[in-house]
Amino acid sequence: MCKVTYFVQPCPTCGRKLQVKVEYLGLEVSCQHCGAGFISHDPDMAGAPPINPVDDALHKADAFLGKGLAGTHFPSMFGTN
């Protein structure tokens, strides 16, 4: 007989404690109480993943592109000398 192992994680939206199966670590799950979706992680582990890794990556890309374009002069009309 197989035993299922769970860890307890609070919902980042409503704060209710949820039992999440360990095989769902790092995957998007939804709260049974409020319906909010979030990426599951073990809160006891140091360096927990960001709440939304896609948004985090987009933010880092925007910051990188913003720094790369700072001080760059663009002509008012492209194709003119």
Does residue 81 belong to any structural domain of this protein?
no
User: Domain count of the chain?
Assistant: 1
Residue 70 identity: A
The two tokens of residue 34 are: 């409020």
Closest to 55 (Cα-Cα) out of 34, 32, 38:
38
Whether residue 30 is contained in a domain is answered as yes
40 within domain boundaries: yes
On whether the CB atoms of residues 26 and 41 are closer than 8 A, the answer is yes
The domain containing residue 12 runs over which residues?
6-69
Residue 76 DSSP symbol: S
**Domain for residue 56, yes or no?**
yes
- CATH number, residue 44: 2.20.28.160
pLDDT tens for the 81 residues of the chain, in order: 678 888 899 988 899 999 998 888 889 999 999 999 988 887 666 555 555 666 767 777 777 777 655 455 555 555 555
76 in a structural domain: no
| Residue 75: inside a domain | no
